[in-house]
Amino acid sequence: MIEHFVHIVSRIIQSIPPDPLRRLQLTFAVLLLLTIIAVVGYMVIENMVFIDALYMTVITISTVGFGEVQTLSPTGRIFTSFLIVLGISIATTAASNAISILLGERWEHRVKKRQLEQALKELQNHYIVCGYGRMGRQIAADLKARDEKFVIVDAEEELEERLIELQLPYVIGDATHDDVLIEAGIKRARGLVAALTNDPANVLTVLSARELKPDIFIIARVTRMETESKLRVAGANRVINPYQIGGHRMALTLLRPVVHDFLDQIFHFGEGRNIDIGQIIVHEKSTLAGQTIGSSDLRSEHQVNILGIRKANDSLVITPNPNERIELDDTLIVIGPPEAIYMLERQNLVIDDEDDEI
């Protein structure tokens, strides 16, 4: 009978969703209910006062082995036997759930961390985002929205838990140090963004990155205009001043709000995009080389329009006419459906190598 009752209690506890925390909460609720029943039981069966009944309940459920407050009747002994068995069962269940909470979270954390470490080792042709502040988070979000491979580099150890939870490959360390960039796979990387919060650190990061991989494409953040030239000398291909760009966007919104909305739609990342802008480099194996814009199938087959052409000599042709010939090493600036842009860029292996030259 006792075994049958214990089995019923165990089934009740195990029937809730397999969440160790909820199971632990239910276990304590059952323990509280058992304590109330036991106190009332001793008061009724043995005519104990409340304090004696509570004391008897505690030493029985906890199985500490102290002496009885009074000699128990046969019914009281049977009742006590029930309490001992149930107390052991509930205590075992509570301990099991507590261990599951502690070890389960640690184990899951360890597994996720090892997965990210392995993913970092396997990264090829990826981007390195140095700095995970407000700008770095936005860069990471946009890269992720476009399914690009990247790794975060930041010196703040407090970010590690967050990055593991987001499943973003990362390196905790100072981006100005060569060993940290090497750990981030700079020798295999396609590009690097120096988005640290101060200009001197960005200059050092650019210097280190350029020395470790001379042909990598580097973008650097700058907050003081006088630092821009230093970043370019250090090796940055592009220097971005977020305050300057933000000011331009706000002025554009003020003067030409519809144009701003159009550009905002183009540069919107993530789901819901129906238009995108991209670049197609015409390499020696490209079928576009030698064709005119009018004879190419970009518009007829892919609904993609050419906004401009950057020629090999860095001159820019805006809104080229249909008779404009597409030449080797031209870079076509195109606009159209995101899926078509993505496919054409991948087919033409867009890696802006010529921008890597200092």
Q: What is the pLDDT of residue 356?
A: 41
Q: Reply yes or no on whether the pLDDT at 17 is more than 60.
A: no
- Ramachandran bin of 185, using left for φ above 0, alpha for ψ from -120 to 50, beta for the remaining angles: left
Domain boundaries, the chain: 2-113, 124-240, 274-356
Contact 279, 335 (CB under 8 A): no
Q: What is the pLDDT of residue 33?
A: 86
Q: What is the Cα 208 distance to its own chain's centre?
A: 26
Rounding to the nearest 10 degrees, give the CA dihedral for residues 296, 298, 302, 307. Answer: -160
Which CATH class name applies to 2-113? Answer: mainly alpha
Reported as a single tens digit per residue, the pLDDT across 78-94 is 888 888 888 888 877 77
Q: ∠ CA 233-236-237 to the nearest 5 degrees? A: 115
Other residues' Cβ atoms within 10 Å of the Cβ of residue 322: 11
| Top-confidence residue, 3 or 307 | 307
Where are the alpha helices (H) located in 15-69, listed in sequence order?
A: 20-45, 50-61
- The helix (H) or strand (E) run that includes residue 308 is strand 305-310
Q: Reply yes or no on whether the pLDDT at 268 is more than 90.
A: no
Reported as a single tens digit per residue, the pLDDT across 24-55 is 777 788 888 888 988 898 888 888 889 888 88
Q: CATH classification of 274-356, choosing from 3.40.50.300, 3.40.228.10, 3.40.50.450, 3.30.70.1450?
A: 3.30.70.1450
Which CATH architecture best describes the domain 124-240?
3-Layer(aba) Sandwich (3.40)
pTM over 0.75: no
Highest average pLDDT, of 32-36, 212-216, 292-296, comes from 212-216
Q: ∠ CA 93-94-97 to the nearest 5 degrees? A: 85
